[in-house]
């Protein structure tokens, strides 16, 4: 049979406007069967109502999990090539609709359109990677004494419950769904209440790609809906992205039924710049490490350790580059800073700048609300902040701000920089900037984090694992490693001789 990839006859049923219904169960958009009210979703760019979304109750979560459980037997029995081909096709559909989906993501998140295009491009990257990998998810044959042998099988877990954050809505969802489905699992996902849109778009994409109804489902709601999903006895595994306090709750819920749990949590990552570094590249990386998506990125390198000998020059270049960032309409092609997700979060980010000032930091630029005109007047636009005169014990240096606030700290020796870099409860990421290859590797190996970049920042190709040390999480997403987190191992022992039971049996 011809591969779906060579065929251009794929129907396109993607909803391109902000329009409900917002649940996706059994292969179509639908209303929840029970609901405890409606969420008002605000468009970050304007502060105006984007849509109202009914909150799914226990009955709806039961329905979605039941549907996913019902189709598990069919989906998990497909060969890797049959299932994988559908994921490849889904990737192709997203590529062909990239602009429309990116625009939905901008409306939902307030991030600049050029960034949304990059985020959405990473979605087919993941679908294609795991679609291609699916036929290679195989077990082992283990020869044993006397001609006996064992088959070690990689088996899916069952229904996966996914809960996501608001900063990378579709990417976060697909990083979970693509490997989970490639391993033969089915899925129920609850997006963040702030960004309900593109998880539903993914349902339409997968349906168009021929993924059977019920393999992927979406329920909507706040923490309570997430909790129902995590506590559901028929959910085999939980995969969560969000804050540490909620991650703790998800893990606690999982503990009740001994569910496997993957957690992608927060960070307070170090970016260490040595005197031999290329300063322009270090400045570019510092922008990437702090100001993408309005600073709302878990892996951000918000503790910028700069060697004292180059600190003045580095700060000069960093402030110049930061002041050139263009705050504006997220849909404008030249905008580099869009809207913060919502007012409460913006106020929290600004409160960190205030606390830094009170503790003695100097704000070299930014850290203020910028009022835009017309339709954008209600959005919360914050100017990216660069802080100096920082100390390790300041609140802004200790806690995850999740906003555009870079704290610059000076250091004298490599040993000191590494020690201070690791003095945190988090361990998601880090980076080292140097032209000295030995030092680069030595420091990268000493940083206690799941990802360390040498001479760059915030790149996460699908091919490489991503996840945290310490309180930044458990488990890994992406790469071959993700397969281990969405499968379980069954050993079948085949006896080829007589049963040897020692002295137990006497002829």
Ligand X SMILES: NC(=O)C1=CN([C@@H]2O[C@H](COP(=O)(O)OP(=O)(O)OC[C@H]3O[C@@H](n4cnc5c(N)ncnc54)[C@H](O)[C@@H]3O)[C@@H](O)[C@H]2O)C=CC1
Ligand Y SMILES: C[N+](C)(C)CCCC(=O)O
Tell which positions 257-276 bind ligand Y, by CB under 6 A.
264
Structural contact between residues 433 and 271, judged by C-beta atoms closer than 8 angstroms: yes
Q: Would you give the binding string for ligand X spanning residues 384-423, x where CB under 6 A is met?
A: ----------------x-x---------------------
Determine the Cα–Cα distance for residues 166 and 41; give it in Å rounded to an integer: 12
Sheet holding 140-143, edge to edge: 140-143, 149-156, 487-494
Tell me the window of 146-154, 187-195, 311-319, 479-487 that interacts with ligand X (CB under 6 A).
187-195
Tell me the window of 17-25, 239-247, 326-334, 482-490 that interacts with ligand X (CB under 6 A).
239-247
Structural contact between residues 5 and 92, judged by C-beta atoms closer than 8 angstroms: yes
CB of residue 266 vs ligand Y: minimum separation in angstroms? 8
Annotated catalytic residues are 264
Residue 474 touching ligand X (CB under 6 A) = no
| End-to-end Cα separation, the chain, in angstroms | 58
Q: Is the peptide bond before 21 cis (omega within 30 degrees of 0)?
A: yes
Report the partner that residue 168 touches, choosing among ligand X, ligand Y, none (CB closer than 5 to 8 A by kind): ligand Y
Cβ distance to ligand X smaller for residue 172 or 186: 172
In the list 88, 183, 215, 230, the residue contacting ligand X (rule: CB under 6 A) is 230
Residue 485 touching ligand X (CB under 6 A) = no
Residue 443 touching ligand Y (CB under 6 A) = no
Report the partner that residue 268 touches, choosing among ligand X, ligand Y, none (CB closer than 5 to 8 A by kind): none
Listed residue (317, 214, 323, 285) closest to 452, CA to CA? 285
CB of residue 467 vs ligand X: minimum separation in angstroms? 11
Residue 460 touching ligand Y (CB under 6 A) = yes
Cβ distance to ligand X smaller for residue 253 or 408: 253
Tell me the window of 278-286, 293-301, 372-380, 499-507 that interacts with ligand Y (CB under 6 A).
293-301
Q: Are strands 405-411 and 159-163 parallel, antiparallel or unpaired?
A: unpaired
SS3 409: strand
Tell which positions 288-317 bind ligand X, by CB under 6 A.
298
SS3 26: coil
Residue 240 touching ligand Y (CB under 6 A) = no
In the list 241, 290, 294, 335, the residue contacting ligand X (rule: CB under 6 A) is 241
Structural contact between residues 357 and 363, judged by C-beta atoms closer than 8 angstroms: yes
CB of residue 165 vs ligand Y: minimum separation in angstroms? 5
Largest interatomic CA distance in the chain: 95
Who contacts 192 (Cβ-Cβ below 8 Å, separation ≥6)?
164, 165, 166, 169, 242
Determine the Cα–Cα distance for residues 225 and 35; give it in Å rounded to an integer: 10
Token pair listed for 57? 């109750």
Determine the Cα–Cα distance for residues 46 and 379; give it in Å rounded to an integer: 4
In the list 112, 184, 242, 270, the residue contacting ligand X (rule: CB under 6 A) is 242
Listed residue (397, 387, 394, 401) closest to 359, CA to CA? 394
Q: What is the DSSP string of 31-60?
A: --SSEEEEEEEEPTTTSSEEEEEEEE-HHH
Tell me how crowded residue 148 is: count the other CB atoms within 10 A of its CB: 13
Determine the Cα–Cα distance for residues 168 and 181; give it in Å rounded to an integer: 20
Listed residue (410, 494, 424, 26) closest to 218, CA to CA? 26
Cβ distance to ligand X smaller for residue 41 or 230: 230
Cβ distance to ligand X smaller for residue 118 or 136: 118
Tell me the window of 36-44, 76-84, 166-174, 220-228 that interacts with ligand Y (CB under 6 A).
166-174
Residues forming beta bridges with residue 28, ordered by sequence position: 25
Residue 165 touching ligand Y (CB under 6 A) = yes
Report the partner that residue 400 touches, choosing among ligand Y, ligand X, none (CB closer than 5 to 8 A by kind): ligand X
Report the partner that residue 249 touches, choosing among ligand Y, ligand X, none (CB closer than 5 to 8 A by kind): ligand X
CB of residue 275 vs ligand X: minimum separation in angstroms? 31
Tell me the window of 131-139, 157-165, 174-182, 489-497 that interacts with ligand X (CB under 6 A).
157-165
Q: Are strands 473-474 and 260-264 parallel, antiparallel or unpaired?
A: antiparallel
Who contacts 109 (Cβ-Cβ below 8 Å, separation ≥6)?
44, 116, 166, 167, 169, 195, 293, 338, 341
- Which single residue is written with the structure tokens 């923490």? 223
Cβ distance to ligand X smaller for residue 108 or 208: 108
CB of residue 374 vs ligand X: minimum separation in angstroms? 28
Report the partner that residue 402 touches, choosing among ligand Y, ligand X, none (CB closer than 5 to 8 A by kind): ligand X
Tell me the window of 109-117, 135-143, 188-196, 482-490 that interacts with ligand X (CB under 6 A).
188-196
Q: What's the length of the chain?
A: 507
Q: How many residues bind ligand X (CB under 6 A)?
A: 26
Q: How many residues bind ligand Y (CB under 6 A)?
A: 11
Report the partner that residue 265 touches, choosing among ligand X, ligand Y, none (CB closer than 5 to 8 A by kind): ligand X
Rounded to 5 degrees, φ, ψ at 154 are: -95, 110
Binding site residues, ligand Y, CB under 6 A: 165, 167-168, 172, 241, 264, 297-299, 460, 466
Residues that bind ligand X (CB under 6 A): 163-167, 190, 192-193, 222-223, 226-227, 230, 241-243, 246, 249-250, 264-266, 298, 345, 400, 402
């Amino acid at each position: 049979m011809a591969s779906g990839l060579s065929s251009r006859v794929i129907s396109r049923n993607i909803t391109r406007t902000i329009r409900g219904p917002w649940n996706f169960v059994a292969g179509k958009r639908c209303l929840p069967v029970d609901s405890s009210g409606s969420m008002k979703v605000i468009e970050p760019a304007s502060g105006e109502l984007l849509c109202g979304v009914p909150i799914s109750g226990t009955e709806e979560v039961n329905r979605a999990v039941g549907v996913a459980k019902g189709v598990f037997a069919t989906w998990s029995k497909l060969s890797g090539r049959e299932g994988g081909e559908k994921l490849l096709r889904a990737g192709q559909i997203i590529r062909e609709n990239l602009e429309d989906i990116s625009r939905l993501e901008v409306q939902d998140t307030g991030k600049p359109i050029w960034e949304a295009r990059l985020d959405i491009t990473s979605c087919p990257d993941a679908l294609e990677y795991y679609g291609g990998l699916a036929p290679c998810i195989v077990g082992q044959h283990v020869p044993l004494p006397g001609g006996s042998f064992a088959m070690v099988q990689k088996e899916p877990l069952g229904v996966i419950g996914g809960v996501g954050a608001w900063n990378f809505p579709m990417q976060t969802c697909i990083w979970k769904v693509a490997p989970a489905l490639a391993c033969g699992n089915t899925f129920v996902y609850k997006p963040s209440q702030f960004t309900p849109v593109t998880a539903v778009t993914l349902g339409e994409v997968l349906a168009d790609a021929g993924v059977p109804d019920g393999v992927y489902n979406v329920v909507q709601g706040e923490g309570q809906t997430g909790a129902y999903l995590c506590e559901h006895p028929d959910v085999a595994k939980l995969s969560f992205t969000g804050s540490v306090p909620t991650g703790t709750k998800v893990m606690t819920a999982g503990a009740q039924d001994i569910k496997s749990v993957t957690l992608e949590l927060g960070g307070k990552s170090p970016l260490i710049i040595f005197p031999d570094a290329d300063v322009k590249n270090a400045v570019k990386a510092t922008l990437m490490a702090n100001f993408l998506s309005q600073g709302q990125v878990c892996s951000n390198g918000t503790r910028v350790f700069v060697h004292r000998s180059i600190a003045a020059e580095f700060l000069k270049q960093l402030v110049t580059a930061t002041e050139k960032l263009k705050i504006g309409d997220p849909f404008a092609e030249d905008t580099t800073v869009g809207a913060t997700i919502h007012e409460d979060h913006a106020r929290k980010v600004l409160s960190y700048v205030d606390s830094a000032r009170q503790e003695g930091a100097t704000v070299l630029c930014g850290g203020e609300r910028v009022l835009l005109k017309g339709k954008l007047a209600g959005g919360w636009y914050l100017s990216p902040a660069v802080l100096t005169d920082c100390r390790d014990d300041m609140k802004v240096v200790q806690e995850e701000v999740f906003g555009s606030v870079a704290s610059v700290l000076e250091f004298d020796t490599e040993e000191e920089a590494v020690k201070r870099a690791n003095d945190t409860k988090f361990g998601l990421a880090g980076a080292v900037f140097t032209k000295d290859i030995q030092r680069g590797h030595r420091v990268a190996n000493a940083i206690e984090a799941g990802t360390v970049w040498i001479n760059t920042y915030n790149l996460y190709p699908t091919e490489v694992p991503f996840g945290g040390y310490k309180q930044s999480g458990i488990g890994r997403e992406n790469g071959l490693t993700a397969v281990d987190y969405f499968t379980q191992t069954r050993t079948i022992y085949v006896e080829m001789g007589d049963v040897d039971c020692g002295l137990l049996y006497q002829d």
